[in-house]
């Protein structure tokens, strides 16, 4: 392999890793804990770059994401759940989560019923609601950084990895792993380390509004570390916290 190709490959791998992690933290901290469940206050200085990251790297419409997610909590693993491996099958969710998500996100009734309070600001109506515009800007930035070929590949790989991580949380975390509480979700620490804490899903379903997903000694919630640092900087404030288990 030519030295120039190796350098491009290394930059592409770095861009993918950084983008996937930034998107994961933005999803867990901003979209999930703050916007969907209102368990965390975020200063706009922190929330805004998280919104931009999600818009550029994933094209997610926050209003739709929150609506689909709240509906998942309302009907967890029973009829009405948008993406349940119990209803649809684990493999279907692991490799088809994006289809199940999009099917629900495009239902006007779901969005109006479950997220009337979200995504109504000026920036939402003019920018963040238009996911494709964000994705085109994201592709352009990647191509500007790495050239058209490597930039295009890097964008696709980071988007694909993010989509797969989301599918793992929606699929594996309702099928495999351990439980602290009696609900159909599970904890998978390895998934939590890859997805900014989302893998502690059994804890989350027990206390959906908690800003902290770890609940007993030994559990690691990467987003909680970031939230603690942001709290020290007075850029975030947990509003609700689950009680910690003794053992």
Angle at Cα 211 formed by Cα 207 and Cα 214, nearest 5°? 70
Ranges assigned E (strand) in 17-112: 40-42
Question: How far apart, in Å, are the Cα atoms of 97 and each of 45, 88, 105?
Answer: 32, 10, 12
Token couple for 5: 């190709």
Q: How many residues bind Zn ion (CB under 5 A)?
A: 1
Tell me whether residue 51 or residue 72 sits nearer to Zn ion (CB atom).
72
Least distance to Zn ion from the beta carbon of 237, Å?
19
User: Nearest to residue 175, comparing CAs of 80, 104, 84?
Assistant: 84
Least distance to Zn ion from the beta carbon of 201, Å?
5
Give the contact letters, 184-223, x = binds to Zn ion (CB under 5 A), - = no.
-x--------------------------------------
Least distance to Zn ion from the beta carbon of 172, Å?
11
User: Nearest to residue 26, comparing CAs of 63, 6, 55?
Assistant: 55
Least distance to Zn ion from the beta carbon of 243, Å?
18
Give the contact letters, 126-165, x = binds to Zn ion (CB under 5 A), - = no.
----------------------------------------
Residues that bind Zn ion (CB under 5 A): 185
């Amino acid at each position: 392999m030519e030295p120039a190709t190796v350098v491009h490959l290394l930059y592409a791998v770095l861009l993918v890793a950084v983008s996937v992690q930034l998107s994961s933290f933005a999803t867990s901290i901003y979209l999930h804990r703050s916007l969907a469940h209102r368990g965390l206050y975020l200063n706009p200085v922190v929330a805004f770059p998280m919104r931009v990251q999600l818009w550029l790297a994933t094209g997610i419409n926050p209003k739709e994401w929150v609506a689909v997610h709240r509906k998942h909590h309302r009907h967890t693993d029973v009829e009405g759940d948008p993406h349940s491996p119990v209803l649809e099958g684990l493999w279907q969710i692991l490799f088809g989560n994006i289809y199940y998500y999009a099917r629900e996100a495009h239902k006007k009734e779901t969005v109006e019923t479950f997220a009337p309070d979200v995504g109504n600001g000026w920036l939402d109506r003019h920018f963040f609601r238009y996911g494709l515009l964000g994705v085109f800007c994201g592709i352009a930035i990647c191509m500007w950084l790495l050239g058209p070929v490597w930039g295009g590949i890097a964008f696709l790989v980071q988007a694909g990895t993010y989509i797969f991580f989301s599918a793992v949380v929606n699929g594996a975390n309702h099928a495999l792993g351990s439980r602290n509480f009696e609900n159909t979700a599970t904890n998978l620490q390895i998934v939590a380390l890859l997805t900014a804490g989302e893998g502690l899903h059994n804890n989350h379903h027990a206390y959906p509004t908690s800003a902290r997903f770890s609940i007993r000694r030994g559990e690691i919630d990467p987003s909680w570390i970031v939230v603690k640092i942001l709290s020290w900087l007075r850029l975030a404030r947990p509003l609700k916290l689950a009680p910690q288990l003794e053992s």
